[in-house]
Structure 1
Amino acid sequence: MTTKYLDCRNCGDMQDFRPLTDEEKDAVRALVEGRYVHDFWRCTAAGCLRFQRWYAKRDGASLPESFRVPAPPEAP
């Protein structure tokens, strides 16, 4: 999978971002102006909902809570 190492405003540091899934693209269309969402990427950090354009970190927001991926359980 293609990823980009970007500054995540939600996490507060650099994270890997991946392209949006089709389901995420539908949600992003409802949150941003315009229908073109193919240049948005999603933070892959556990629990993060941030999506943003790879070239403009201020141009993004958080996906709805239903898209949150829980952190994996800690090993004993």
Structure 2
Amino acid sequence: MATKYLDCRNCGDMQDFRPLTDEEKAAVRTIVEVRYVHDYWRCTAVGCLRFQRWYAKGDGASLPEEFRVPAPPDPQE
């Protein structure tokens, strides 16, 4: 899967972003109220919900909580 290295406002630094899944696209359509969402990308950092256009970091928001990816279990525990 292709990724882009972008500045994530939620994480506060550069992160890999990936294209949205179909479920994420449906959620983004309701948040930004536009039909065309194929140019939005999702931050891949664990726990981050940020989505934004790859060319405009200010044009984005956070997905609903149910889209949060939990951190993997700590192998030391």
Tell me if both proteins adopt one fold, taking TM over 0.5 as the criterion. yes
Q: How does 1:45-56 map to 2 (within 5 A)?
A: 45-56=45-56
Structure 2 gaps of 5+ residues are none
- Percent identity at matched positions? 84
Paired residue secondary structure (1:41) = strand
Q: Residue 26 of structure 1 aligns with which residue? A: 26
Structure 1 gaps of 5+ residues are none
Q: Residue 68 of structure 1 aligns with which residue? A: 68
Paired residue secondary structure (1:15) = strand
Give the CA deviation at 1:54.
Answer: 0.2
Q: What is the letter of the counterpart of residue 54 of structure 1?
A: W
Runs of 4+ in structure 1 displaced over 6 angstroms? none
Q: Residue 38 of structure 1 aligns with which residue? A: 38
CA RMSD of aligned residues (A): 0.6
TM-score, normalization by structure 1: 0.97
Q: In 1, Cα distance between the equivalents of 2:53 and 2:42?
A: 9
